[in-house]
Amino acid sequence: MKRSIRKQLLLWLLIPLLSLSAFSSVGAFYIGENLARSIYDRELVNSADSVVARVKNQDGKITVDLPVAALSILRHNNRDEFYFQILSPSGQLLAGHNFLPQPKFEQLNLNPQFRFFKLKERQLRAVAFTFPNATDNLIIQVAETRNTRKELTHQIAFTVLASQFILIICALIAVWFGVRRGLSPLARVEAAVNSRSPGDLSMLEVNEPSEIKSLVNALNNLLKQLSDDVEMQKRFIANAAHQLRTPIAGLGTYSALARKLAKDDESKEVLAELDAGIARMGKVVGRLLMLARSEPGASSTRQMSVVDLNSVVSEVTATKVPDAIQQKIELEFHSTSEPALIYADPSGIEELASNLIENSILYTPSGGTVMIEVAVRNGTTTLNVEDNGPGIPHEEKERIFERFYRLPGTEKSGTGLGLAIVKEVVSSHKAKIDVSSGPSGQGASFKVSFATFKRTL
């Protein structure tokens, strides 16, 4: 399972944040409850004082005169139930509700004493204290239900939680963008690597932070080693090909001379086979040299200029006419009425066209047709080479560009380097090549697309 740095950072940042949010939510609820309790406890004491203010002693009888309007206020606009008791020091009920449980007298004094108790499955908050009367200190106890207290607790908690929720959302967004921005240097390194052509092994140049500098340095060291190895391999192939060209040319000369001097037909036949082998060897060596020059690392050997694709392809096609006639293949060439200009290496484009046309002629059966077309459309100049040969299986369309790879069952002679050279030329010119079936579903079609060169006034 692949591990993601982004997910791990988000996880380790969000878990503490959400945990802190959960704890703060619980704390907000308790803070709200304590705040509501403090506010309503003071109001409960004020209610008790209001009851005390309405206590009257008439002929030794204690009465409490509470108007309906005052009782409604004490009940918080009738959202709560309100009860009171006036007790003597001995616990005798002098006025009020007789169903309230009495407080503990030994703990009472002038200071209010608060407590919770249940009455008929409802939890009440009560306060009791002593107050002076004409004859003796009396005890007052008032109690109320907790409806408005709970409402205030919920309002406070909701307000705190709502603000925390907004802060959490803002924090999550900040964490997301912070992590994304923090990892953006890695994305820039990825983009710098992905934007390169397959043969570009030059050093990475990105404005990286110190944390990933070691990674970039390691990549650059690896690229340097690969570049040195590839360069050494290219030099070996080029040097070997150069060293082989002269001996092969000499062999060809001596073989031709030997054929002239040969007297019997059997010797001439053997020498003819030798000539063919030497020619194939020379062709392979030439293709190896061309392949080395076509690779992206050999840009210094290319002479870039404005090229008319019509002219180059027309000349190449003309050189392939004898081969087509020998194979009894019809060769068609369609050009544009206007110059098809591209910025390219003329020798590379010539080699590309030569290999594509030669490849089509080689694999097209006798009596077939090879069509070469140059076109300019929507800022793109294309070279299309089509044939009505056996075609290329879909699963082999990527492999045909590999060096020395040939389709299974192929009986035609060849070097296996032609399409590899085509691929390298396409890559070095930042062009595009598409392989498909012919228009009628038979044969193969190679379409190479270049950017059209636009002259500036």
Together in a domain, 28 and 149? yes
pLDDT of 457 reads 47
CB-based burial of residue 379 (10 Å sphere; 0-12 exposed, 13-18 middle, 19+ buried)?
Answer: exposed
| Residue 109, number of CB atoms within 10 A of its CB | 10
**Domain identity same for 324 and 438:** yes
Residue 57 is assigned to a structural domain of this protein: yes
Which H helix or E strand runs over 189?
Answer: helix 184-194
Task: Give a yes or no: residue 73 inside a domain.
Answer: yes
Last residue of a domain, one of 154, 175, 198: 154
Q: How many Cβ atoms from other residues are within 10 Å of residue 232's Cβ? A: 10
Same domain, residue pair 63 and 144: yes
Query: Is the domain of 374 the same as that of 258?
Result: no
- Same domain membership, residue 407 and residue 314: yes
Average pLDDT over residues 128-149: 84
Which among 114, 135, 154 is the end of a domain?
A: 154
Asked if residue 289 and residue 388 are part of one domain, the reply reads no
426: its two tokens: 């396409």
Domains in the chain, number: 3
Q: How far apart are CA 111 and CA 45, in angstroms?
A: 10
Q: How far apart are CA 419 and CA 287, in angstroms?
A: 11
**409 and 434 in one domain?**
yes
Domain end among 130, 154, 178: 154
Residue 442 shares a structural domain with residue 313: yes
Q: At what angle do helices 346-363 and 309-326 cross, to 10 degrees?
A: 30
Which of 291-305, 327-341, 408-422 shows the lowest mean pLDDT across its residues? Answer: 291-305
Which CATH number do you get for residue 17? Answer: 3.30.450
Burial classification of residue 115, based on how many CB atoms lie within 10 Å of its CB (0-12 exposed, 13-18 middle, 19 or more buried): middle
Residues 18 and 124 in one domain: yes
**Residue 227, domain member (yes or no):** yes
Confidence band for 275, pLDDT divided at 50, 70 and 90:
confident
Domain enclosing residue 21, as ranges: 5-154
The tens digit of pLDDT for each residue in 416-431 reads 677 888 888 888 888 8
Where is pLDDT greater, at 91 or 125? 125
Q: Considering Cα of 190, then 191, then 192, then 198, what sign does the dihedral take?
A: positive
Name every residue whose Cβ is closer than 8 Å to that of residue 96 and which is 6 or more positions away in sequence: 64, 83, 84, 85, 86, 141
Provide the CATH number for the domain around residue 238. 1.10.287.130
Residues 119 and 18 in one domain: yes
Residue 205 counted as domain residue: no
Q: What is the model's pTM?
A: 0.47
What CA–CA distances, in Å, run from 120 to 77, 99, 117?
22, 10, 10
Amino acid at 63: T
Domain assignment of residue 206, yes or no: no
Same domain, 232 and 327: no
Largest pairwise CA distance in the chain: 165
Decide if pLDDT at 272 tops 60: yes
Say yes or no: 414 and 342 in one domain: yes
d(Cα 128, Cα 399) in Å, to the nearest integer?
96
Is residue 367 scored above 80 in pLDDT? yes
Residue 86, H or E segment? strand 82-87
